[in-house]
Each structure stands twice: as C-alpha cells, then as structure tokens.
Amino acid sequence: MSGLEAVIGLEIHVQLATRTKMFCGCELSFGDHANVHTCPICLAHPGTLPVTNERAVIYGLRIAAALGCEVAPRSIFHRKNYFYPDSPKAYQISQYDFPLAGPGELGGIRVHRAHLEEDAAKLIHVGESGRIHGSGASLVDFNRGGTPLVEIVTEPDLRSAAEAREWAQLLRATLRQLDVSNVNMEEGSLRVDANVSVRPEGSGELGTKSELKNMNSFRFLERGIEAELERQRELIAAGEEVQQETLHFDPSDGSLTPLRSKEYSHDYRYFPEPDLVPMVPTEEMLEEARRDLPEPPAARRERYVSELGVSEGAAATLAFEPAYGEYFERAMGAPGGGSAAATAIWVTGELVGSLRQADAEEEPLASKATPEAVRALAGLVEEKKISNGAGKQVLAALVAEGGDPAAIVERDGLGQISGSGELEAIVDRAIEAEPEAADEVRKGNPKAIGRIVGAVMKESKGRADGDGVQKLILERLGQG
C-alpha cells in the first residue's frame, strides 16, 4: 500500500572499552573463561556498594561531545527493576529522567539523549530449550555483567530502512574515532535496536511502533526494518492494527517473532539509586573528554566533497574508514600527482579492491603501495600518460611489489599509445579480424563497434585510451 511513510528511531547500546566495570574493579574481558571476572559487587552480594567508574563517565562525555549533546551539570542513576537471571541484583543501574547528556544531532538526525548504564550478564542457552522435559538449560556468564554502556536514543527522524542503516554506519564511524569502544556489531560491542512505525504521508502524528532487537550487522538492520515495514503496511492494508511489541528478526528466513509484549516504563518501578551520589562532571573531566576530538566523519565527508571536489561515494568511504582517510590525507600531502578527486577514486576503488583480494592485511598504510605512489599513479592517468586499464596494472604491481609508478610504466611498456602509427596499425588489424562487425559499423550501426574495440584493447593490453580508439575506428571505417 502506498501513501504510508516509514518512521524509525534507533536505540544504540555502546559497550565502553574501559579497563574495569561500571561500578566495581573487575576487569572487562572478552572470550575468557566464564565467571572469572566477578566480585561481590557485580554479583550483588548483600552489603556491597557500587562506585562509579570515572573513566566510563569521561568516555560517556566524549560520546556526548561528538554528538553535540548538552551535558547535564548533574545527572542521576536510577534502579530499573526487573526479574531475570541475567541480573543478580534484580535491577539494572541505569539513568532515567536525569541522563548524562541531552539533545544533540548527528548527520541531520536529532539525538534525544545519551546515558550511562551497566550491561547485563550473558545467558548461554544449551541443549533443547522451551520444553519442560527437554535437555535444555540456560547458563549465566557474569563476566559481562556490569560492563559500562552508553545508550544513545535518537528522535524518530529516519524515514527508510536504508537511511537508518546509513545513519547507524555514520554513528559507528563517529564513535570509532573516539577510541572509547570497539564498536563491533558482530561481537555485540555495538547493539542497535530499531523502533519502527508507519503513518499516512504528511501526517504529523506517530503511529504505533514495534521494536526490533539486537540485529548484529548493518545488513540485517536494514533487512529487518524492511521486513517490519512491509509487515505493518500489510496489516494496515488488511484493516488491522499494529501492536506495540518487541520483535526478533531472523535473517536466515526473514521472519519476525514476537519476544514479549512491550513493557512500559512504569513496569520497571524506577527509583533513584540510593547507593550512588549524583554525577557532577568536573571542569577537568569535561576538558579531558573534549581533548583532541577528531574531525567528525560527517564534517570530513562534507569537506572532501565541497573543498576538494571528491565524489560523494569516495568521500563517504574516506570519511567513514579512518585507515583509508589517513592514507588519502598522506597522499594529498605528497609533493605532486593526481588531483584530490582522481586520487580519491584510486584509493577507494582499485586500492580497496586489490587489498581485499590480496587477502593480506587490509591496512592500506601497511601495503607496499605507498600513498605517494598511488597519487602519482592517479596523476599519470589524469594526464593521459597511461590509460585507465594500464593504471590498474600499475596499481596491482604497486600492491604486489611497491615501487614508483613511472618506473613500472617504463619497465612494463605500459605507456599510452594513442594517435601514433602503432595504434593505427593495431586498429587496422582489429578491423580485419572482425569483418562482420566492421560492415555493420560502415552501414551506420555504431553498436557493433564494441567487438573491434575489444580486439584493440586485447592486442594493446589495455594501453590504449578507450575514447581515442573509438574515434580512430570510426574514422577508419568512414564514419568519423
């Protein structure tokens, strides 16, 4: 059904990469033996008291700064009460009506708030579950319990599944530069929940939303939202209503399964945590949080496009992939070579591709192809000293063995042939080899030229300039 617009808001949990947990001295660990990083505090033994991890607060403030959020001069921890085996206390220490940071904005999407909380323990389900007589069991690993989290909540400003995915990628790129989290969706250090609803186009009201939980890749996030939007549109087309509920998306078959009917905040009986003092960031903490904040990816992308003339796609890759951004910056610091636009295309296209293919380390700066060399290569192609195809061969050589592009061109005889007698001879041979195609072209059917161009490229090993070759063939066949 058309006429129904998508409305999406995201809730993102970011695991902070501090040394210790949010409220105790236990070390954070990934992949260690279960239940070795625990203590009476994170296991909720009676009589123990939590102490706020200052580093986690500074990391939270750093995230707030990067999202342009207002920092609360005083924020408060609350107990969010619930009963489930992943919480030995039967509540989570979180923030409620006085969060660490208030409204902000990233890439045109409004951030509602960002607050600090602790992660739950990890449940591991083994055997056959869901049956009283089954062999199944749920194991609890308390290593994760008490890990510091920042929860970021957006306003419902996103209007399509693709936009939600792109924004989540922008957020990850922004967070990654801050060095406060591993921001890895597969490993769960970045967890994105999507709130999804539809409404008549042009309506100012919000429809009833459902919430999709924990999709563990950007692709699944987009596909899950896509599937849920379709489900809601079909419901409404059938005259039914969307229920407020929490859904699990299964990427293997695209299904959406209800996890539980949605709880409301009053279900959690929030009350202020009596064992913790309010959080009042000092001037020194704020300063440390803001120190050396890197240029935000959104600003960098914008600058590359508007100031350097880089294409949108290449600018996004350079801005969102710090390693390639750094590589590009170094290339542009080289004394000469291609323009920024051309260099960006070589870095984000051919270099990314061949590094992935080489299945070596994907780190571009560790590659044998230096930034200076790739920029010089971009210049050779731009000045038409070599063809685009020859440029690809030079890049492959740079990745394989390093060196200087001009020297590789010289050594491998990759210099452009155009307008010379050599090219004319090759064109004539190609016309002879493809007599039927040549006749077609003579009769005025220019599409047939492809086969002749192909023959020229093959014989010249990609050293000829494609446009020049086309023109020459047409001339030779009396169509020029």
Residues 66, 296: contact at Cβ < 8 Å?
yes
Is 42 a residue that touches Zn ion (CB under 5 A)?
Answer: yes
Residue 9 contact among Zn ion, ligand ADP, none, beta carbon within 5 to 8 Å by kind: ligand ADP
Segment interacting with ligand ADP, rule: CB under 6 A, options 45-53, 79-87, 194-202, 318-326: 194-202
Give per-residue burial for 321-357: e unless 16+ CB within 10 Å, then b.
Answer: beebbebbebbbebeebbbbbbbbbbbbebbbebbee
Residues 93, 276: contact at Cβ < 8 Å?
yes
User: Could you tell me whether strands 109-118 and 148-154 are parallel, antiparallel, or unpaired per DSSP bridges?
Assistant: antiparallel
Q: Structure tokens of 112?
A: 């509602």
Is 11 a residue that touches ligand ADP (CB under 6 A)?
Answer: yes
Residue 364 contact among ligand ADP, Zn ion, none, beta carbon within 5 to 8 Å by kind: none
Is 24 a residue that touches Zn ion (CB under 5 A)?
Answer: yes
Is 197 a residue that touches ligand ADP (CB under 6 A)?
Answer: yes
Is 121 a residue that touches Zn ion (CB under 5 A)?
Answer: no
Residues 208, 43: contact at Cβ < 8 Å?
no
Site string for ligand ADP, 261-280 (x = CB under 6 A): ----x---------------
Phi/psi at 448 (5° precision): -70, -10
CB nearer ligand ADP, residue 190 or residue 351: 190
Segment interacting with ligand ADP, rule: CB under 6 A, options 7-15, 98-106, 281-289, 450-458: 7-15
DSSP for residue 417: B
H or E element in which residue 117 lies: strand 109-118
**Distance from the Cα of residue 204 to its chain's centroid:** 30
Residue 24 contact among Zn ion, ligand ADP, none, beta carbon within 5 to 8 Å by kind: Zn ion
Is 113 a residue that touches ligand ADP (CB under 6 A)?
Answer: no
Strands (E), 173-277: 190-200, 210-215, 245-250, 255-261, 271-272
Residue 39 contact among Zn ion, ligand ADP, none, beta carbon within 5 to 8 Å by kind: Zn ion
CB nearer ligand ADP, residue 61 or residue 225: 225
Is 9 a residue that touches ligand ADP (CB under 6 A)?
Answer: yes
What is the rounded distance in angstroms from the CA atom of residue 226 to the CA atom of residue 230? 6
Neighbours of 93 (CB within 10 A): 21
CB nearer Zn ion, residue 16 or residue 71: 16
CB nearer Zn ion, residue 91 or residue 328: 91
Site string for ligand ADP, 119-158 (x = CB under 6 A): ----------------------------------xxxx--
CB nearer ligand ADP, residue 7 or residue 376: 7
CB nearer Zn ion, residue 24 or residue 168: 24
User: What 3-state class would DSSP assign to 304?
Assistant: helix
Phi/psi at 79 (5° precision): -95, 125
CB nearer Zn ion, residue 61 or residue 140: 140
Q: Is 436 exposed, middle or buried (0-12, 13-18, 19+ CB in 10 A)?
A: exposed
State the minimum distance, in angstroms, from the CB of residue 218 to Zn ion: 33
Is 225 a residue that touches ligand ADP (CB under 6 A)?
Answer: no
For ligand ADP, the nearest residue by Cβ is: 9
- Return the residue of 137, 162, 206, 237 that touches ligand ADP, per CB under 6 A: 206
Residues 213, 10: contact at Cβ < 8 Å?
no
CA distances for 95 relative to 28, 118, 131, 248, 415, angstroms: 21, 10, 36, 25, 65
Q: Is 256 exposed, middle or buried (0-12, 13-18, 19+ CB in 10 A)?
A: middle
What is the rounded distance in angstroms from the CA atom of residue 351 to the CA atom of residue 336? 19
Residue 26 contact among ligand ADP, Zn ion, none, beta carbon within 5 to 8 Å by kind: Zn ion
Residue 207 contact among ligand ADP, Zn ion, none, beta carbon within 5 to 8 Å by kind: ligand ADP
User: What 3-state class would DSSP assign to 413?
Assistant: coil
Is 56 a residue that touches Zn ion (CB under 5 A)?
Answer: no
* Site of interaction with ligand ADP (CB under 6 A): 7-11, 153-156, 195-197, 206-207, 209, 265
* Site of interaction with Zn ion (CB under 5 A): 24, 26, 39, 41-42
